[in-house]
């Protein structure tokens, strides 16, 4: 289960946040700091991954973290509606955490992890090869690879909710609350066999 916890200062160490949540008896697995995708600046938000259980769902009632109050727990943003790609075997539909396949490089056709491969820097004279479509010229993460999943065009007259079904993962964000606003209402959990997550930010 995934949760976004907003309201935590960017200076807060994830290890300290993890220990604090464990002391509050949350079945927490991991805590990750969220960053701006381009400039890599730290957000006042962390992503927490918990066991998908009754105790894990109590994260929605979180009041304080590291003696900080005024936090909000929210689900992570919805994805593009496409299956995720495994960083171990490069196939779609599962994550590396749950992958039991052989490691395959994202930049060449050999069976080894990407970080163990010889291609450490881009080489214009030797472009990458895709392990999915077996062609040279792009990596396995290339969006327009012939083996990459495509978003299906919605049927005419189909309602918006049906076009964009909710993601299968259960997530939550934590955002700072103002004195004039009521505490964030618990988010209804969604059925998901995977671990939950949460994001935390500082006021």
Could you state, in chain order, the average pLDDT of each consecutive group of 10 residues for the chain (203 residues)? 68 87 90 81 84 86 85 72 86 89 92 85 85 92 89 64 51 49 51 57 56
The answer to whether 183 and 88 have CB atoms below 8 angstroms apart is no
Same domain, 134 and 95: yes
The answer to whether 5 and 193 have CB atoms below 8 angstroms apart is no
**Could you give the number of structural domains in the chain?**
2
Residue 157 covered by a domain: no
Residue 155 has a pLDDT of 64
Residue 159 covered by a domain: no
Same domain, 12 and 72: yes
Residue 105 has a pLDDT of 93
Residue 180 has a pLDDT of 46
Four-residue CA torsion sign, 173, 34, 11, 195: positive
Same domain, 171 and 74: yes
The predicted model scores a pTM of 0.43
Same domain, 148 and 92: yes
Residue 7 covered by a domain: yes
Residue 58 has a pLDDT of 87
Supply the range of the domain harboring residue 137. 86-152
Residue 86 has a pLDDT of 92
Residue 92 has a pLDDT of 92
Residue 39 has a pLDDT of 79
Task: Report how far residue 21's alpha carbon sits from residue 85's, in angstroms, rounded to the nearest whole number.
Answer: 29
Residue 178 has a pLDDT of 46
Task: Report how far residue 111's alpha carbon sits from residue 114's, in angstroms, rounded to the nearest whole number.
Answer: 9
Same domain, 137 and 104: yes
Four-residue CA torsion sign, 37, 90, 77, 21: negative
Task: Report how far residue 46's alpha carbon sits from residue 3's, in angstroms, rounded to the nearest whole number.
Answer: 9
């Amino acid at each position: 289960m995934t949760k976004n916890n907003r309201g935590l200062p960017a200076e807060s160490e994830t290890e300290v946040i993890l220990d604090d949540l464990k002391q509050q008896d949350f079945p927490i697995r991991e805590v990750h700091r969220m960053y701006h995708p381009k400039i890599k600046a730290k957000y006042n938000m962390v992503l927490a991954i918990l066991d998908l259980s009754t105790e894990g769902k109590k994260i929605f009632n979180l009041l304080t973290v590291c003696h900080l109050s005024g936090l909000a727990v929210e689900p992570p943003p919805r994805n593009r509606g496409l299956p995720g790609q495994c960083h171990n075997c490069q196939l779609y539909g599962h994550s590396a955490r749950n992958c039991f396949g052989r490691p395959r490089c994202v930049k060449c056709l050999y069976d080894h992890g990407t970080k163990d491969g010889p291609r450490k820097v881009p080489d214009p004279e030797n472009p990458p090869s895709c392990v999915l479509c077996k062609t040279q010229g792009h990596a396995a993460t290339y969006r327009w690879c012939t083996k990459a999943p495509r978003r299906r065009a919605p049927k005419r007259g189909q309602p918006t909710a049906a076009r964009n079904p909710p993601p299968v993962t259960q997530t939550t964000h934590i955002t700072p609350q103002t004195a004039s606003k009521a505490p964030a209402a618990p988010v209804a959990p969604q059925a998901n066999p995977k671990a939950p997550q949460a994001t935390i930010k500082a006021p």
